Amino acid sequence: MPDQPSVELIQLLDQLDLASRGDILAVGRRARRLARGLPVFDSVWVDALAQAGVLTPLQATQIKAGRGHHLRVGEYILQTTLDAPPYAQLFRARHLSSGTKVQLLLADIPPGDASQASKELQTLIDVSGRLEHPVLLTIRAGGLEASGSTARLWCVCDDLDGITAQRWLVPHGRMPHQAVLHVAQQMTSALAELERYELPHADISPTSLLFNEEGDVRLLMPGIRGLLRPEEGYGHAELAPEAYDYVAPERIVRGTPADTASELYACGALWWHLLAGRPPVPGGDSVAKLRNLQKGRIPAIDQVAPETAAFFAEAVTRCTDLDPQRRGGSFDHLAAQLGPPTREGAGEIASCVARHIHPPTWAETGSLPTENIRWVSGLFWGSVASFLLLGVLWYLRVPSAAPTAHVPPPLPEKSAVAPTGSTVPQQATDSQKSPPGLPRPQLLEPNIILLTQAAAAEGRLPKLSAGITVRGDPQQRPLFRVPPHGILLDLPHVRFENIDFVWQHGDSTTPSSPPAMIRLSSRWVEFHRCSFQSGPLPFGSPQPIAIACSRRERSREDLNLPAAVHTVLDLCVLREVAAGIAVPGSTSLTVQSHGTLYLGPGPLVQLAGWPWLEQPIRLALSHCTLRNSTALVAVRGGEAVSRPGAISVHAEHCVFAPRADGALLFCQTRQPWQDLMQRVQWTGHSSLLAADAAIVSGDSEDGEAERLDESRMAIEGLARGEVQFASPQLHRPAASRLQAWSVPLRSSTPPGIDHDQLRLPSVDDG
């Protein structure tokens, strides 16, 4: 029964300088524990060494498969696998004597080509030795080794502890346009150096583009693909389709090697991919990809990523022209057009890499404050208990089978509301009966109250409790006449359904400040199929705010927690309001909205100052339409904040068409906009912004709206183009149905509202 490692294993590990005999015996106890009473074979010793960190997973796998001798390539020992180009393998390796870490590329070549490949490799090493550009990870050494019926070509370059662009694109999609511009500025400078030495890179692609957390950009092993694959085309279609995404069309047709024109095309295609988040040309297999590359025309990048700077978009479009003569003269000329790299651009790259390597947690992003974490935990267990309770009640309420149908007794004219905490409607006692002329609303089922037309017309809400739902009849929607002082909501998790809120102007309304229809001092409120609008107003009177979040007194336990408000607007219509939601300072806001139509004229969200780091503002929008509004989010006033928080918007299938002087974000604070620009984050997909609308604007010194710099804002999934609605009128939801748009989107689903779900009687009749 073997209880010691074999002599062959000890000699192999010693020759590879991976472990000495003492290192192996040091894991003896672990090996015997892994064997579980069985013989301690060499494979068990290898597993024990891997668990102890002496061997890497790659080394352990190769040794157990009997291929341990393949771990040594020249004077290097393979350690781990890296993201490799489609035509070779790539490893992180260690030099045997010095211990220096390098990246080692390994490719099989036919034995008959070995002699010519060896000469070309030596020439490439000599030229690379004269290149000292910091962006280029040039080949430092290389050689050929016989391996059975084939030969293995290997070469090494300096190591970079970072990630490839391909690895970043898979989970994140589009890269911020400021980061892509920085990549382009770095690449053109390096490729101009290669052009002077007449050495095409020949493999400009996401797998050969590397970043690290310091914001460095590197191009891997220039010239190696040209050595291994001097020709590309239909006769060399054995690689995966993505291997041909950046091959110039003329190389496919003529089989020519890489040159400056094809390098310019590859750069444009790569930058297009980084900006758009997808390859520029589709293709299900290699032949289809090559055919599409030969005949297809790449769309202009500003149609897909409208936030791209105009000069950069023009450079990308020119580089991807099918005609090589129209791509530009040289990389020196292109580098002069793009300008030099900036420190801000390096910071964008560093932020992207950090977001990938160290993904933010809830606590780091502020996405879920501590009080909300406690609340979510309580909600989960409360939901479980409620589910079980409802199941028992349902079982008790199911009538037994009877030969005749059961006809429920008619409801009394004055039905009582169940007391708070009760789950079954009770007949009103003498002490609980309503005063004459004030009928109590009907309780449909536990925690759901039917709002009658009479109560709504008088502007009266029933007595509310936490978690209650106030529901209007969807066939005869109640028109709730909101009094001038508004409605105070100070209970959490109140939900309104099928109610049209119309604000009534009063003589006591202060003309200097907008009144509020809903004065919200609770943490959570939901509106489903509701509408908000203003009634007739005297000349000069301000329009109301639909929902105004007000400061509230917090308990001693809450003093160390940020105030947080969560508002849900589902299939709602808001029009003729000064703002949809107004938020004071020191308040975190989350807005969830689906299928909502906002017609202004004020902003959807109005902030009284830029949020602090602990109070982020988040909007999650889907199939929403904004028209005739000053802004989606407006920030006015407030003191300068030392730690500015984030304003993040996630929009899917939305349409934003603010008025002529409007913008997505309006910012007028005492703090310089340059300090706040990077705190705005926009994500999502398939959303449209009207062609003439600004991304961000503010007031100039003369009081006129002016566009602000948006170059460092992170915007993903928003395309700018012409949009056409069903009608220029705003009095009916059907008029805001999107009829046509001028830019391609990721989804075939029309963006914006579904007007069929917004046929609200009181709104349509308005």
Segment 321-337 mean pLDDT: 86
Separation CA 46–CA 64 (nearest Å) = 7
569, 420, 585: which is closest to 495 by C-alpha?
A: 569
**22-47 pLDDT per residue, tens:** 999 999 999 999 988 888 899 999 99
631-636 β-sheet, strand order:
487-489, 516-520, 545-549, 579-583, 605-607, 631-636, 663-668, 694-699, 705-707
* pLDDT tens digits, one per residue of 351-363: 898 888 876 544 4
Mean pLDDT on 489-494: 87
Q: What is the pLDDT of residue 661?
A: 86
Contact (Cβ atoms closer than 8 angstroms) between residue 564 and residue 587: yes
Output the CA torsion 139→143→147→151 (10° steps): 80
Residues 443-465, mean pLDDT to the nearest whole number: 83
The pLDDT of residue 744 is 78
128, 156 contact by CB (below 8 A): no
Confidence class of residue 725 from pLDDT cuts 50, 70 and 90?
Answer: very high
CB count, 10 Å around CB of 558?
A: 12
Q: Looking at residues 261-275, what average pLDDT do you find?
A: 95
pLDDT at 406: 36
217, 349 contact by CB (below 8 A): yes
Rounded to whole angstroms, how far apart are CA atoms 361 and 309? Answer: 32
Average pLDDT over the chain, rounded to whole?
82
If pLDDT is split at 50, 70 and 90, which confidence band does 393 have? Answer: low
Encode pLDDT of 144-201 as tens digits: 987 667 789 999 999 988 899 999 998 888 899 999 999 999 999 899 999 988 999 9
Q: Which of 235, 242, 174 is nearest to 203 (CA)?
A: 242
pTM passes above 0.85: no
Contacts with 209 (C-beta within 8 Å, 6 or more apart), sequence order? 164, 165, 166, 183, 187, 217, 218, 219, 220, 270
Question: Between the ranges 62-66, 210-214, 240-244, 366-370, where is the mean pLDDT highest?
Answer: 62-66
**Residues forming beta bridges with residue 694, ordered by sequence position:** 663
Structure confidence by residue, pLDDT tens digits, 659-669: 988 999 999 88
What would the mean pLDDT of 6-12 be, rounded to a whole number? 93
pLDDT in tens, 570-627: 999 999 999 999 998 767 888 989 999 999 899 999 999 888 876 778 898 999 999 9
Q: Is the pLDDT of residue 512 over 80?
A: no
Q: 671 pLDDT exceeds 50?
A: yes
Q: Which residues touch 230 (CB under 8 Å, ≥6 apart)?
A: 257
Measured distance CA(517)–CA(473) in Å, rounded: 21
pLDDT value at residue 634: 94
Q: Is beta strand 597-598 parallel, antiparallel or unpaired with respect to 573-574? A: parallel
Average pLDDT estimate for 718-724? 90
Give percent of the chain with pLDDT exceeding 90: 42
- Stretch 312-338: mean pLDDT, rounded? 88
Report the distance separating Cα 504 and Cα 481, nearest Å.
6
> What is the length of the chain?
766
Token digits of residue 591 = 């807005």
- Please tell me the predicted confidence (pLDDT) of residue 728: 87
Which range, of 500-509, 603-612, 673-682, averages the lowest pLDDT? 500-509
**Two tokens at 528?**
């489903």
Q: How confident is the model at residue 375 (pLDDT cuts 50, 70, 90)?
A: low
> What are 548's strand-pairing partners?
519, 582
